[in-house]
Amino acid sequence: MLTVDFSRFPLAPGDRVLDLGCGAGRHAFECYRRGARVVALDQNGEEIREVAKWFAAMKEAGEAPEGATATAMEGDALHLPFPDESFDVVIISEVMEHIPDDKGVLAEMVRVLKPGGRIAITVPRYGPEKVCWALSDAYHEVEGGHIRIYRADELLGRIREAGLRPYGTHHAHALHSPYWWLKCAFGVDNDKALPVRAYHRMLVWDIMKKPLATRIAEQALNPLIGKSFVAYATKPHLPAGLTDTAAVDAP
């Protein structure tokens, strides 16, 4: 299940991609299949080891084009172990709502992104997320949980302040919002509640089969209750002699 829409965020074979806070690796795997040179980074060592196993399995199965590479590594989003301007593309999906210093993370992403490079940021959408917080304290008051809810204009403002230029937004995963509302209503750790189990089965069926009816329904519902807000931006090329600070402050 991808949150980034690669029809709006195209990759070229050979692009160097950083999937920051990659989690289970869903976007990293897609980039690898598209011929990118991928680095999947996360602070969770257990997840990184699983991602590395999947990368190896994909290579063995011939799922990645010739020239594509994939590396999984542990790391700190606030102190990325890469030189300046190392990547053509950076993806950070459902991560920034967990990090107190979100401006610091944005600054690091901008540092390692090449001028002209592209960035995709996804976060939980304000409305559906606000419902989850209202229904359950346990949903967000956990170690490593969500510490903020972004409004769209707030996130776009942060992106611009970091020196990036947003070029598109959309919402995703409308069918997942009711699932999380049910989880919050019946208990976030209660997977035995019948409504939760039934809805989960439907979601798994939808992800695996991709039937036309649910695809149309989700497309129609995304602007209303899409669970995720997705923003795309580019890092501008600076004129010769112009500093980053001057570029950001220029009218």
Confidence of residue 141 (pLDDT cuts 50, 70, 90): confident
Q: Say what the pLDDT of residue 83 is.
A: 98
pLDDT one-digit tens code per residue, 155-185: 999 999 999 999 999 999 999 999 999 999 9
At which residue do the structure tokens 């997977």 appear?
191
Q: Which pLDDT score, from 0 to 100, does residue 245 have?
A: 40
The pTM assigned to this predicted structure is 0.92
Residue type, 108: E
pLDDT, mean over the chain: 93
Mean of the pLDDT values across residues 127-149?
A: 93
Torsion of CA 236, 76, 48, 118, to 10 degrees: 0
Q: Does 240 score more than 70 pLDDT?
A: no
Q: Tell me, what's the pLDDT at 239?
A: 55
Per residue in 221-236, pLDDT (tens digit) is 999 999 999 999 999 9
Using DSSP's 3-state secondary structure scheme, residue 85 falls into coil
- What's the one-letter identity of residue 226? G
Residues 6+ apart with CB under 8 A from 187: 136, 138, 193
Of residues 150, 143, 113, 111, the one with CA closest to residue 129: 150
